[in-house]
Amino acid sequence: MYPLFFFVFATAAVGFAINLLVQRHPIHSALSLIGVMASLASLYLMLGAEFIAAVQVIVYAGAIMVLFVFVIMLLNAGEEERTDRSRLAKYLGMPLFLVFLVTLATILSRQFSPNSMVQFGDFPGHTADIGRRLFQNFLLPFEVVSILILIAIVGAVVLARKETY
Partner 1 sequence: MVPLSYYLILSAILFGLGTAGFLFKRNIVTIFMSVELMLNAVNLTFVALSYHFRQLDGQIFVFFVMVVAAAEAAVGLAIIIAVFRNRGSLNVDQMDLMKF
Partner 2 sequence: MSLPILIFTLAKIVVILLVLLTVVAYAVWFERKLVARIQSRWGPTRVGPHGLLQPLADAIKLLTKEDITPSGVFGLVYLLAPALSLITALLAFSVIPFGPVTEVGGVDLFQIADLDIGLLFILSISSMGVYGIVLAGWSSNSKYSLLGGLRSSAQMISYELAAGLSLVGVLLLSGSLNLREIVNAQTGVWGIIPRWNVFPQFIGFFCFLTAAIAETNRLPFDLPEAETELVAGYHTEYSSMKFAMFFMAEYTNMLTVSCLATLLFFGGWHGPTFGPAVLQAILPLFWFSLKVLCFLFLYVWIRGTLPRFRYDQLMAFGWKVLVPVALGNLVLTSFIVALWSA
Residues written for the chain: 165
Distances in Å between the Cα of 19 and the Cα atoms of 96, 107, 118 are 20, 28, 28
User: Is residue 83 a contact point for partner 1 (CB under 8 A)?
Assistant: yes
Question: Of the ranges 13-21, 55-63, 92-100, 107-115, which one interacts with partner 2 (CB under 8 A)?
Answer: 55-63
Which CB sits closer to partner 1, 89 or 91?
89
Window 13 to 32, contacts with partner 1 (CB under 8 A): 13-14, 17-18, 20-21, 26, 29-30
- CB neighbours (10 Å) of residue 70? 11
Residue 46 and residue 6 in contact, taking contact as beta carbons nearer than 8 Å: yes
57 binds, among partner 1, partner 2, none (CB under 5 to 8 A by kind): partner 2
Binding residue for partner 1 (CB under 8 A) from 8, 92, 97, 143?
Answer: 97
Instruction: Kindly provide the b/e burial profile for residues 95-128, where b requires at least 16 CB atoms within 10 angstroms of the residue's own CB.
Output: eeeeeeeeeeeeeeeeeeeeeeeeeeeeeeeeee
Question: Of the ranges 2-10, 51-59, 91-99, 104-112, which one interacts with partner 2 (CB under 8 A)?
Answer: 51-59
29 binds, among partner 1, partner 2, none (CB under 5 to 8 A by kind): partner 1
User: Is residue 49 a contact point for partner 1 (CB under 8 A)?
Assistant: yes
Which CB sits closer to partner 2, 1 or 88?
1
Query: 80: closest CA among 139, 132, 21, 128?
Result: 21
Query: 125: closest CA among 59, 45, 60?
Result: 45
Q: Which residues of the chain form contacts with partner 2 (CB under 8 A)? A: 27-28, 31, 34, 50-51, 54-55, 57-58, 61-63, 66-67, 69-70, 73-74, 76, 126-127
